[in-house]
Amino acid sequence: MKLELVKTIDGSNSLKNLIINDSYHSKYGAINESKHIFINNGLKRISKKKIRVLEIGFGTGLNALLTQLYCDKKEKKITYHTIDNLPLIEEIYSSLNYCDQLKIDKNIFLKIHSSLWENEIELSNFFVLKKMNCDFTKILFNEKYDLIYFDAFSPSKQPEMWTLNNFKKLYECLNINGVLITYSSKGDVKRTMKEVGFNVYSIEGPTGKREITLASKD
């Protein structure tokens, strides 16, 4: 995997996958984008004190970091499962500047990356992490979740991730009243979600993006 470190407009780092020519975050701000989509319009919608989160696309680990910071502050217990079959090496993830930008101890972020894969690891009193190194298109889920972060590369660059069968299995592993949130607002994506049973809503996007998509299982 060939990666290039890039600086986004809000000052936070992102990465560009040079093989598929796609970036991990918006050029307008990695932290700004992740907070707006996955925390403000995803996690904050779940009122439970104990929340189970599934992330498709661990990537830089930024979503996991922001989730841990939120649940530690709000004292909500979160079990966080995340999938990625191309994990970053230490040289790459240690160069990301999220902790400097957020003004937090860098060890919080490094522990997320250095924790063992395939094991549930308690990283704080409120945050349990399990990273799974596997192919999302082939995995079958036997657990239920309250919230799904769908953060794969774009449909044009990674179309195999955005299929009817994949959204069907995500719908099935989501609890009633659960939510799936993603940055994509493509019409094809919304129609696919509706076809498997989701109620689909367009909501305001972060800086530089008009809309994002919220899907609920009511």
Contact 193, 13 (CB under 8 A): no
Which secondary structure element, helix H or strand E, spans residue 175, and what is its range? Answer: strand 174-182
User: What is the per-residue pLDDT across 110-150, written as a single tens digit (0 to 9) for each?
Assistant: 999 999 999 999 999 999 999 999 999 999 999 999 999 99
pTM for the structure as a whole: 0.97
User: What is the per-residue pLDDT across 170-182, written as a single tens digit (0 to 9) for each?
Assistant: 999 999 999 999 9
**Architecture of domain 32-217 in this structure:** 3-Layer(aba) Sandwich (3.40)
The closest alpha carbon to 66, from 29, 13, 112, belongs to 112
Q: Residue 175 is encoded by which pair of tokens?
A: 């609890």
